[in-house]
Amino acid sequence: MRRAYIAATLLLAGCAAKPEYLVTIDAISSGEHERKSNYVLLSGNKDVPVDDLQFKEFAKYIHRALTARGFSQVGNISEAEIAIFLLYGIGDPQEHYYTYSRPIWGQTGVSSSSTTGTMNLFGNTGTYSGTTTYTPTYGITGFSSGVGSYVTYFRYITLSACDVTRYLATKKPNEVWRTSVTSTGSCGDLRSVFPILVAAAWEYIGENTGKKVQIKLHEDDPLVLELKGADESR
C-alpha cells in the first residue's frame, strides 16, 4: 500500500521539472457497490458533454484506474449497474504575499592597525613621517525588508457513483460511493495535474477512507507513469 503522509510540507507544487504534489483524498462509501462493478462514465460538469475533447482525455485516466480497481466499463447505461459521474475543475489563481528581510553587508569596525615610517636626524633635531594602516572588519550592519508574492490554484476531481437500477425505479439518484480528490499548488495546468491526482487516489476509488488521506508524490512516480503509459499505449 502506498504511503500516506501527514500534511505538513508542500504548499507550492509547481509545473517545473519533477515537482512534488500534496494530494488530499476523501472517500466515502455505503458498501453497496461491492457487488456492482459494471459502469458507465458520465460528465458531472454542467455543459460538458461526454464527447468533449478534454473530458475524453481525462476519462481515459479514470477508466484505467477503475479497471485496476475491478470495475468493468459497459457500452450504455442499460447495461450498467452504476453510473459514475466525473466532475473536475481548477479554481481562479490566488495570490499570496509575504515579507522577508535581507541583510546589509558593510564595515563594522577595525580589527587592527599598523604604522610604518621614517625618521630623519639633523644634529640635535629630527623629523618623523609615518603612515598608519587600518584593517577593517566586515559583517551585517542592518537589514532591509521586502515583499514577495506567489500564486496558487485549487485543483479537484470528484467521482460520484449512483445505483442505476434504483434510479430507473425511483427517478431519484442513489449515491453508493463518492471519491473526492483535491490539491493546491502553483501549477495552473489541469491537464498536467489531472493524472497525478488520479494516481494519488487510485487505491481509494470506491472505498471508505473514514477521514481525509494525504498522499505526496511527483510526476515521475511509478503510479503516474503507469497511468500515463497505459493511456499512451492505446
As a whole number of angstroms, the distance between CA 156 and CA 66 comes to 18
3-state secondary structure of 204: helix
Cell of 56: 475524453
Long-range contacts of 5-10 (CB under 8 A, 24+ apart): 5/214, 5/215, 5/216, 6/214, 7/214, 9/216, 10/185, 10/216
pLDDT one-digit tens code per residue, 19-38: 889 999 999 998 765 678 99
CATH 3.30.160.670 location in the chain: 20-95+151-232
Q: Which of the given ranges, 32-36, 115-119, 141-145, 222-226, has the highest pLDDT on average?
A: 222-226
What is the per-residue pLDDT for 216?
A: 94
Contacts of 197 (CB under 8 A, 6+ apart): 21, 23, 155, 156, 157, 181, 183
Q: What is the CATH number of domain 20-95+151-232?
A: 3.30.160.670
Alpha carbon 24 to chain centroid, angstroms: 10
Contacts of 79 (CB under 8 A, 6+ apart): 38, 40
pLDDT one-digit tens code per residue, 149-185: 889 999 999 999 999 988 888 877 789 999 999 999 9
Which of 89-93, 110-114, 195-199 shows the lowest mean pLDDT across its residues? Answer: 110-114
What is the per-residue pLDDT for 130?
A: 62
First CA to last CA across the chain, in angstroms? 27
pLDDT at 191 over 80: yes
Residue type, 77: I
HSE-up of residue 63 (Cα within 13 Å, Cβ side): 16
pLDDT, averaged across the chain: 83
Cell of 163: 445505483
